[in-house]
Chain A
Amino acid sequence: MPATFATATHTGLVRKSNEDSLFARPPVFVVADGMGGAQAGEVASGTAVSAFEGYVPQAKSPEDELKRVIAGVNANIYELASSEASRSGMGTTLTAAVVRGNSVSIAHVGDSRAYLWRDGVLDQLTEDHSLVGEMVRSGQITPEEAEGHPQRSIITRALGVDSAVEIDTRALEWKPGDIILLCSDGLYSMVDDGTIAAILAKRDNLYVSAWALVEAANAGGGRDNISVVLVSPDGGIETGLDDDTAQIATMAPGQDTANAASNASALSGTPAPPEGFFTRIKRWLASVPGRITIGLALVIVVFSAAWFITRQVYFIGVEGDHVVIYRGVPYDLGPLSLSSVYRNSIVTFSDLEPFEQDRVLKGELQSKSGAETMLDNYTAQARDRKQEAERQAAEAEARAKSASKNLVVPPGGLP
């Protein structure tokens, strides 16, 4: 049985674009992780994988052929990088696997990895050409320390950064039931080897497993692009594809999940990948009932907020002839009044000085305490004035009385 395979690539949750590229056409499988600003990374990784489209392995052990192809890629990218200023410094990692007979040949530059899963154990086939990788190998730091190391993204070898590059290759025998995994650092920096092994151990069809790995990386933070190629060399695990469809997948760079999925389907008749939680939410939000629900929720939130705010403000106004505190805002919404009398008072409008009347008519919005203070002041003022008027009236009455006492009443009384 020929080898079966599945691919998955995803931008991740942090990066804006996907600079990974991958290529899969039995017996050749490639993952490339581009680098360099302004889309240069996508160009680099895309250039790298497209070089494999015209490559058909000839030798039984094609390590040297792979080295030649990859050296050619290196020269191409290097030339591209030096010819255009905007692309200077671009480069890519590359990990390729070729399945021939009962052996697998691996060629590799950079920090993308190849793994062999066998009987539940995950075995890393490549050595990372990264600063941290070298520090681990030389024993400066432990693999655990490497995981959170701030400089773990610095790679020591890549395609396109120099006119010549050293390429690591190796070959191994595969056994029935083995799974070869090629991936970019977006997977293994987010998901530990144990989890990867556990996902593969479920032995779902390869597409389910590939997308489960992507979901796991996103669940772990998704800080980088994630690319995964799974290969069952003996064809013992189903791909999840229709048998008739051509089994080729080239992932052009810069595609997000949905595109990658549909692209994969278009190219190789892949079914949509299993949906993760985020994807389901996203799709529901885009649907008509989803949009209506969101719209209604927004309207309710806005109206409740507006209502809540109008209940927090107060203003002084006139109700009948009396000065009162209103709660709300001094407007009507059609037949609906947005204010109601909050507190009455003994102060009449005519009790107020002209400048105070102006202020009452202005109906400026106030806090509760502000409005209460204002009305309290007006009330005290009106009360003082009333008492003063009463005092004067009493005085006048007393004067009138004493005057009438002095009045000489003629004998026989007044007529």
Chain B
Amino acid sequence: MNKPIKRLFIVSVLMFASLIAMLGYRQVIEAQDLADNPQNTRKVFAQMRIERGLILGSDKSELAKNRKEDDLYYRVYPKGDLVPHLVGYSDPTYGQVGLEHSQNSYLTGTADEVELVNLFDTLTGKQKRGADLKLTINLQVQRTAQEELQKIGKRGAVVVIDVKTGAVTAMVSNPTYDPNQLGANWQQLNSDPDSPLFNRATQGLYTPGSVFKMITASAALESGAFTPQSRFRDDRGTVDIGGFTVHNYRAEPFGEHSLAEAFSQSINTTFAQVGDQLGKDKLIEYMQKYGFYEKPPFDLPSDEIAASGRYENGELLSPGDSMDRAQVASMAFGQEQLQVTPLEMALVAESIANGGKMMKPYSVDSVSDYNGTVVKQAKPEVWKTPIRPDMANELKDMMVKVVNEGTGGKAKTGKVQIAAKTGTAEVTGRGPNAWFVGFAPAESPRYAIAVVVEDSDAGGGIAGPVMRETLLAALGL
């Protein structure tokens, strides 16, 4: 080869090499960043060209499907305002939330498990297609819970969990909204003081009040220092701890009673003393055993799930932060700076019902491709083991007493034995939060439930019928 040809050859080789290097860089290393760049509206349109997978209820009825218009697919939610907080929406203008957001890779068929586009599909010009999600949500139970909450006409939430598996059977947040009407109602939905778009079941932080006594009781029983039969005496209806006076509800004195009775009658003075005796570290330890201070591993986007724990000015405090005696005593019966989500309280009830094993909650039962082949199946997994099985049984008995002899009478039904814990959490500035947390059937639990009703001037019992009717619907009774 003579010199000019050799030089030309070297130059072309270098140019090709740099071309390949740049292409590789853009396509491999930068690809994700470029695709995720919000200025890249092509991604939105590219995704709208994909036939998104359906979202189905546990009975395979459609919760989300597609409407095709000018080669673009738009989402339609046939059940309207029934499950919007969990399912979410996918909209070119308003973005994606809920499962539509967190499960987007399955719904658009880009997840590794569903990349099934083969040579044949390419040849027949088939577009990439999303996989279908089958949820664990039982629409019958969902509808009952929603209707019962709406009957009360207050803000609130219901979470129902399958005790053995952790499958979420219902997840209701009230008020709700219709994801088909986002365009027409966007302004109003965002300015509404009741925040209908907000998923109270997983993000709503509520003072637990007496339902927290499930955790204090767990710590007390497992410490060995207390049994359900441990005796207490309360003559005044108040007790002073660390310079702070604890009152019973209406400062009612209960006289001599057992720990089980203190639980079923929700005696604050006794639980304040138990908490004081156990100390801060023990209580915090059991909160962490029950999953406090972390976000439950659930299918929703992480920013739509809140962790339960002690909060100050909207910020989760560290479990190690110091507390004085009065704070510990106050926390022991569910006040102080505690904030919990309905999902977390449902998980607490679920683990007591499940012999001390807290299952990982999930709402996506399976993912199937267009031909109906299951590409991913949820497997029940234990997330936490907060208490021993025998302790769980003792707690269960105490919770049965709450319904049969104590504060939970509003949940009583002749059809099935329900176990529960009530709570009437004081909230500064407005009416208390009414809680009902429990499970049924008590002898062989199948469903755990947490119900919260905000601003309930009618007292804690208001949530009882919501729990009862929802559990009956779940059990098919």
Contact = CB atoms under 8 A, between A and B. Distances in A.
B372 A356 contact: yes
A367 B372 contact: no
Given A367-B118, A370-B120, A355 B372 contact: no
Contacts of A356: 372
A353 interface: yes
Contact of A355 (B65, B121, B373): B65
**Chain A residues touching B, majority SS:** helix
Given A354-B62, A355-B60, A355-B62, A377 B372 contact: yes
B124 interface: yes
B120 A367 contact: yes
A302 to B, nearest CB: 18
Interface string A345-388: 00000000111100100001111001001100110010000000
Interface string B44-63: 00000000001010001110
A267 to B, nearest CB: 46
Contacts of A374: 370-372
A16 to B, nearest CB: 26
A381 B372 CA distance: 10
A377 B374 CA distance: 9
A353 B54 CA distance: 12
A259 B121 CA distance: 52
Contacts of A155: none
Given A313-B124, A365-B124, A367-B118, A355 B56 contact: yes
Contacts of B126: 364
A33 B56 CA distance: 80
Interface residues of A, number: 16
Contact of B370 (A313, A353, A359, A367): A359
Contacts of A364: 126
A192 B414 CA distance: 112
Contacts of B56: 353, 355
A356 B59 CA distance: 13
Contacts of B120: 366-367, 370
Contacts of B132: 355
B371 A353 contact: no
Contact-residue size bin, chain B (C-beta under 8 Å from the other chain): 10 to 19
Given A313-B124, A355-B54, A367-B120, A378 B372 contact: yes
A354 B62 CA distance: 9
B124 A377 contact: no
A313 B132 CA distance: 24
Nearest to A374: B371
A370 B54 contact: no
A377 B370 contact: no
* Most chain A C-beta atoms within 10 Å of own C-beta, residue among B54, B370, B371: B371
B129 to A, nearest CB: 10
B124 to A, nearest CB: 5
A370 B371 contact: yes
Contact of B373 (A313, A353, A366, A377): A377
Contact of A353 (B60, B118, B124): B60
Nearest to A368: B120
Contacts of A353: 56, 60-61
A374 to B, nearest CB: 4
Contacts of B121: 367
Contact of A377 (B54, B60, B65, B371): B371
Interface in A368-415: 370, 373-374, 377-378, 381
Contacts of A377: 371-373
Contacts of A373: 371-373
A356 B368 CA distance: 12
Contacts of B124: 313, 365
A159 B54 CA distance: 79
B114 to A, nearest CB: 14
Nearest to B62: A355
Contacts of B118: 367
A359 B132 CA distance: 13
Contacts of A381: 372
A73 to B, nearest CB: 34
Nearest to B371: A374
Contacts of B372: 356, 373-374, 377-378, 381
Contacts of B61: 353-354
A365 B118 CA distance: 13
Nearest to A356: B372
A310 to B, nearest CB: 12
Nearest to A365: B124
9 contacts: A313-B124, A354-B62, A355-B56, A365-B124, A370-B371, A373-B372, A374-B372, A377-B372, A378-B372
Given A354-B61, A377-B372, 9 more contacts: A313-B124, A353-B60, A353-B61, A355-B56, A355-B62, A355-B132, A365-B124, A367-B121, A374-B372
Interface of B: 54, 56, 60-62, 65, 118, 120-121, 124, 126, 132, 370-373
Going nearest first, the 7 A-B pairs with the smallest beta carbon separation are A377-B372, A374-B371, A367-B120, A353-B60, A373-B371, A365-B124, A373-B373
Interface of A: 313, 353-356, 359, 364-367, 370, 373-374, 377-378, 381
